[in-house]
Structure 1
Amino acid sequence: MVHLDKTTDTILRGKITITQMKHGYRYGFDAVCLAAFVNGYLRKNKKDLSLADVGSGVGTISLILALKNKNLKISSIENNEEFIEIAKENVLKNKFHNSIKTVNYDIFNINKNLKNHFDIVVSNPPFNNKNSNKSNNKFIDVAKRIVDLEKWMEGCVYLLKEKGTLCIILPTNILDVVLVSLRDKAGSFKIYPIWPNTKKSSKRIILLAKKGGISPTELLPGLKLYNNKGVESKKASLLSEEGILNFY
């Protein structure tokens, strides 16, 4: 067993307890926002669905989804053994062992048995390219550096059933790269921009796509985190406190 210096924190008003590394990659806004968006997407769904959380790290997204969706079967897919060890702790600690299965798979060499397997795939992928400056902390570096973004997207689509839904969060400045990489595999894109406030450009995008989708691309209203007086918006508060983002 790997021994790491860890902390235990709570999110969503104490509804979820997360163990994570004290020094290294720690969950942030992107993970919580993506999970809240997917919770909003699933809010009216009553079916039993299967979902893969690709590059799940210590399990933040999976935990938030399990909290709000009792009928969802989640596979947390991660290939870093240290992250997997902590994720398993978090699943047990939050009593989601019936909802979340933590699996050690590499998205670049995915198990063939999982092809066309999931109704939904979510991912908060590493976004720094392989040539960017490395971090001195290997856990930050492995969580933020992606070897091949196009192949990561291909792996996510590979997991989806036909007409299954892909939901990812990414920096706005690489949206074009992701759309090009997906255009032959998915469509019916819905783009949800996130702005810091009313005066600044969007730094993050949430992208919904359908495997085999052919509907026109749609630009959704988006989310402003703060108003022009620096007050947190109601949607942003609901996101951080309740883990729900109503995006329509």
Structure 2
Amino acid sequence: MIDVVTDFTEDAFLGGQLLLKQKRSGHRAGHDAILLAAATEAREGDRVVDLGAGVGTAGLALARRAAGIDLRLVEIDPELAELARANAAANAIAVEVVVLDVTDDAQAFAARGLMPDSADCVLMNPPFNDAARHRGSPNQARHTAHVATEETLHAWVHAARRLLRSSGVLTLIWRADGLADVLTALSRGFGSVAVLPVHGEAGRPAIRVLIRAVKGGRAPLRLLPGLMLNNESGVPRKEVRNILEGRAVLPLAEP
């Protein structure tokens, strides 16, 4: 019997509640996208925009939990956007997929139906590896998905700010050592910032930060207790398994 190797895999997320087709090579969805979805508050009827959606992992995971949202997935790569469409259809989730560069201007967004001040919620997992310290992948799609230029974060936050209505909420994930850059980017137009550090294991520095910010918010910054992904043996903790399998949400998603 001959094994046929395909260019795609079908992977289960949320404990099998979400099945996603994705390319075998290049950027592949993982825990970051599911944590981002679990950190995002959305309710039926909300217009939600997922910037840099890839194959749709974070946005579709959120839609699986929050039925009835008006979901838009924005992705620059036409091939990934087509996979996102197929994944939404395969999981019976209503969605509009838009092929667009997040750094494009307001006119380009509006031409695709993404008007200023129209979204209740934006979530995003921008490229966040520092080009000065990170050796980029020779795979161009993977490089684009992972490596940030100096202006990447500001451009993505600007796009989110433009899309969100007043008091709309931005949720994003970033590398922990870049927290100061995130707070600087959010200082124009956002407030009521809450930060959730994510640690690979107890006793080790945080590897990610999950951040919720409100357009026009005025409440002081909140630093939440850190999320420890693994126990001392390197095994995912029960709390984390519940989140990754769609049985629980993170504090940032709680009203």
User: In structure 1, what residue type is equivalent to 2:96?
Assistant: K
Correspondence for 2:84: 87
Correspondence for 2:182: 178
Query: What aligned pairs does 1:63-212 form with structure 2 within 5 A after superposition?
Result: 63-96=60-93, 98=94, 100-109=95-104, 110=106, 111-112=109-110, 113-131=114-132, 132-147=134-149, 148=151, 149-212=153-216
User: In structure 2, what residue type is equivalent to 1:103?
Assistant: V
Over aligned residues, Cα RMSD in angstroms?
A: 1.8
Distance 1:243 1:207 in 2: 21
TM-score by length of 1: 0.90
Structure 1 unaligned blocks of 5 or more: none
The aligned length equals 238
TM-score by length of 2: 0.87
Query: What aligned pairs does 1:198-237 form with structure 2 within 5 A after superposition?
Result: 198-237=202-241
Correspondence for 1:245: 249
How many angstroms does 1:121 deviate by?
A: 0.3
The runs of at least 4 consecutive aligned structure 1 residues that moved more than 6 Å come to: none
> What's the secondary structure of 1:242's corresponding residue?
coil
Distance 1:243 1:138 in 2: 35
How many angstroms does 1:23 deviate by?
A: 1.0
Structure 2 unaligned blocks of 5 or more: 1-5
How many angstroms does 1:241 deviate by?
A: 1.5
Distance 2:248 2:124 in 1: 17
How many angstroms does 1:212 deviate by?
A: 0.8
How many angstroms does 1:231 deviate by?
A: 4.5
Correspondence for 2:3: none
How many angstroms does 1:120 deviate by?
A: 0.4
Distance 2:15 2:233 in 1: 25
User: In structure 1, what residue type is equivalent to 2:54?
Assistant: G
Distance 1:243 1:101 in 2: 26
Percent identity between the two aligned chains: 30
> What's the secondary structure of 2:39's corresponding residue?
helix
* 1:112-146 deviation digits (Å, cap 9, x = unpaired): 45211100000011012455533111121111123
Distance 1:144 1:220 in 2: 26
Q: Tell me if structure 1 keeps the 8 A contact 2:129–2:175.
A: no
User: In structure 1, what residue type is equivalent to 2:147?
Assistant: R
Distance 1:220 1:130 in 2: 29
Change (3 A) 1:195 1:201: same
Correspondence for 1:19: 21
Distance 2:86 2:98 in 1: 13
Q: Tell me if structure 1 keeps the 8 A contact 2:65–2:246.
A: no
> What's the secondary structure of 2:97's corresponding residue?
strand
Q: Tell me if structure 1 keeps the 8 A contact 2:127–2:147.
A: yes
How many angstroms does 1:36 deviate by?
A: 1.5
Stretch of structure 1 that moved more, 112-121 or 159-168:
112-121
User: In structure 1, what residue type is equivalent to 2:197?
Assistant: P
Stretch of structure 1 that moved more, 155-164 or 107-116:
107-116
Distance 2:247 2:79 in 1: 26
